[in-house]
Structure 1
Amino acid sequence: MTEGPYPTPVPPDPGQWGDLWVRVASGAAMAAVGVFGIILGGVWFQMLAVFVTAVMVWELWMMIRPDAPTPGMLMAAMVASVLSGQFTTEGGLFLAMFFIVPAIGAAALKHERLTFFGFALGIQIAGWGLVMFRSDYGFTWLLWLVLVVIVTDIFGYFAGRTFGGPKFWPKISPKKTWSGTTAGWVGAGLVGLGFMTFTNAGPSIVVISMALSFASQMGDIAESALKRRMKVKDSSTLIPGHGGLFDRFDALLGASIFMLFTALVLDVPGVAF
């Protein structure tokens, strides 16, 4: 059989906004589940945080050892078990539990041991931090943290796609631009301004919001560096348009660790934490 005289049609280029609607739909679904969990709080939010944290550690393992899925599932199960215990354990054992999965996982690997150890430890601490933030400071302030991360991402996405310009860190994240990064800070500052208006937070909340925005962007950058090191595009394919949970919540991890440091170490006046 011979081919006809006409060339095979080439699918149209989706352009710079080609993934927008898939991202919006997936993002809306995740936001709905997340907000519902935040509203419920208590054990419901704990279970959500434990599930997401465990999946991210599984994705971390699979980026390093995609040929060994079974140990990855065991790591996830151990994370769920260990992290659940963090909400009832205190003292030295409480701190030691954070190191169980990173240490066992690192020992089971032949390469990238420090990579797994550091990221697994950070993921667990961040997941625990979000639950503690909800428990200690209430719905309003966890909502503030999540909104800063979401608005940073939205402002950064649209500004970066619209204005383009110089790259923020081209060797690690080629798509991120200074225009998108700066727009994220502006959006976070607006969130802080809104919370200053409608809550008892002082003017410092605006600056803290922008610093939190930068921390969330660094969480994103850290995961981008990990994916580039592992030579993978996404942490997994669980979420259409977003890759894996690690791809979606990397910024929230950075924000959570930053706020743990801020709340535990620094005395920030004018912020009702």
Structure 2
Amino acid sequence: MTSKPGQWDDLIVRVASSAVIAVVGIGCVWLGGWFFLALTVVVSAVMVWELTRMLDDQAPALVIAAIAGGALLVADLLPPGFALPLLLAPAFVGFGQLRQRRATFAIFSVMILLAGFGLLILRNDFGFVWMLWLALVVIVTDIAGYFAGRFIGGPKFWPRVSPKKTWSGTVAGWIAAAVVGWIYVLQTDVGLQIIGISIAVSMASQMGDVAESAVKRRAGVKDSSSLLPGHGGLFDRFDGMLGASVFLLLVEQLVDFPPGVL
């Protein structure tokens, strides 16, 4: 065990903050409809606001965030073919307003809105059970990685970008995601492929986490904001969901989802 004094100091704050996030999130996912749409739009807009502030603190972050949130809101009301240009439009707005790091903003703002749109599709098309599956995969990946990294330690995953992440925590996240997939095999009529998909989604969520860490490193900030005690900002908390949701949009085009369900 490589536990060090002080490394658990933030645990209580993180757990309390996570509990509040979980209650609000699960409640809106359960209710669906306008409740989930409102949550997704607000979270996406705040993440764009945090992204803009990190990359250029002189840019009109609130205006860009409002445009992004409005675009996602309207996109949900349109057929997908008409929604896609709206999801890309805020990237062009930001590209014209930021003085620096424009390409980084364009890439990540598109990812944020595509992720939000993907979550809306998942909830509307597949219901609460599969939206819960995605959330569980991302959550257990994060939790398993957090505790395995502190109890087991070992070689760092990418110390230059994310010095706290270890290979033990990374692999623990994959194992935890596989367990979620196996539980769904036992409790639903889904096929065994959901285990592999769960692991891949876990990997995508970790990539989203690392990508956000790289942005913060480049911007020279520790957290995307200070909105969430113990977590930083919404971008810090939902970076894993960002990667997972965008990846799932691709998965749905490659395999039948949920696999094995008639």
Q: What residue is the counterpart of 1:192 in the other structure?
A: 181
Give the one of 35, 45, 48 matched to 1:57.
Answer: 48
Matched, 1:27 2:14: no
Q: Distance in 1 between matches of 2:207 and 2:239?
A: 9
| Percentage of pairs with the same residue | 53
Matched, 1:207 2:196: yes
Per the TM alignment, residue 270 of structure 1 is displaced from its structure 2 partner at its CA by: 3.4
Per the TM alignment, residue 100 of structure 1 is displaced from its structure 2 partner at its CA by: 1.3
2:23 counterpart letter in structure 1 = A
Matched, 1:152 2:141: yes
In the superposition, relative to structure 1, how do residues 91 and 262 fare at CA in structure 2: closer, same or farther (>3 Å)? closer
Per the TM alignment, residue 269 of structure 1 is displaced from its structure 2 partner at its CA by: 8.0
Matched, 1:139 2:120: no
Q: What residue is the counterpart of 1:95 in the other structure?
A: 84
Per the TM alignment, residue 217 of structure 1 is displaced from its structure 2 partner at its CA by: 0.3
Q: Distance in 2 between matches of 1:188 and 1:272?
A: 20
Contact 2:75 / 2:82 at 8 angstroms: preserved in 1?
no
Per the TM alignment, residue 268 of structure 1 is displaced from its structure 2 partner at its CA by: 6.2
Q: The residue matched to 2:165 in structure 1 has which SS?
A: strand
Q: Distance in 2 between matches of 1:119 and 1:130?
A: 16
In the superposition, relative to structure 1, how do residues 241 and 14 fare at CA in structure 2: closer, same or farther (>3 Å)? farther
In the superposition, relative to structure 1, how do residues 201 and 122 fare at CA in structure 2: closer, same or farther (>3 Å)? same
Per the TM alignment, residue 267 of structure 1 is displaced from its structure 2 partner at its CA by: 3.9
Per the TM alignment, residue 98 of structure 1 is displaced from its structure 2 partner at its CA by: 1.2
Give the one of 235, 238, 260 matched to 2:249.
Answer: 260
Matched, 1:164 2:153: yes
Q: Distance in 2 between matches of 1:230 and 1:271?
A: 44
Q: What residue is the counterpart of 1:44 in the other structure?
A: 35
In the superposition, relative to structure 1, how do residues 265 and 205 fare at CA in structure 2: closer, same or farther (>3 Å)? closer
In the superposition, relative to structure 1, how do residues 77 and 270 fare at CA in structure 2: closer, same or farther (>3 Å)? closer
Q: Distance in 2 between matches of 1:137 and 1:269?
A: 8
Q: Distance in 2 between matches of 1:171 and 1:91?
A: 39
Per-residue CA shift, 1:125-156, capped at 9, x if unaligned? 00111011000011100100000000000110
Contact 2:91 / 2:106 at 8 angstroms: preserved in 1?
yes
In the superposition, relative to structure 1, how do residues 116 and 179 fare at CA in structure 2: closer, same or farther (>3 Å)? same
Where do 1:75-114 residues align within 5 Å?
75-90=64-79, 92-114=81-103
Per the TM alignment, residue 63 of structure 1 is displaced from its structure 2 partner at its CA by: 0.2
Q: The residue matched to 1:98 in structure 2 has which SS?
A: helix
In the superposition, relative to structure 1, how do residues 184 and 120 fare at CA in structure 2: closer, same or farther (>3 Å)? same
Q: What residue is the counterpart of 1:124 in the other structure?
A: 113
Q: Distance in 2 between matches of 1:251 and 1:269?
A: 21
Per-residue CA shift, 1:27-76, capped at 9, x if unaligned? 010011000011000111001000000000000000012244xx100011
- The worse-fitting range, judged by mean Cα deviation, of 77-86 and 22-31 is 77-86
Q: The residue matched to 1:182 in structure 2 has which SS?
A: helix
Q: Distance in 1 between matches of 2:194 and 2:254?
A: 17
Matched, 1:237 2:231: no
Q: The residue matched to 1:174 in structure 2 has which SS?
A: strand
Per the TM alignment, residue 117 of structure 1 is displaced from its structure 2 partner at its CA by: 0.4
Deviating above 3 A after TM superposition, structure 1's stretches of 4 or more consecutive aligned residues are 265-273
1:45 counterpart letter in structure 2 = F
TM-score, normalising length: structure 1: 0.91
Per the TM alignment, residue 91 of structure 1 is displaced from its structure 2 partner at its CA by: 5.8
TM-score, normalising length: structure 2: 0.95
Contact 2:173 / 2:202 at 8 angstroms: preserved in 1?
yes
Contact 2:174 / 2:203 at 8 angstroms: preserved in 1?
yes
In the superposition, relative to structure 1, how do residues 51 and 14 fare at CA in structure 2: closer, same or farther (>3 Å)? farther
Q: Distance in 1 between matches of 2:78 and 2:111?
A: 19
Per the TM alignment, residue 202 of structure 1 is displaced from its structure 2 partner at its CA by: 1.0
1:41 counterpart letter in structure 2 = G
Q: The residue matched to 2:123 in structure 1 has which SS?
A: helix
What are the ranges of 5 or more consecutive residues in structure 1 without an aligned counterpart?
Answer: 1-12
1:57 counterpart letter in structure 2 = V
Q: Distance in 2 between matches of 1:257 and 1:268?
A: 15
Q: Distance in 2 between matches of 1:127 and 1:270?
A: 23
What are the ranges of 5 or more consecutive residues in structure 2 without an aligned counterpart?
Answer: none
Q: Distance in 2 between matches of 1:25 and 1:169?
A: 28
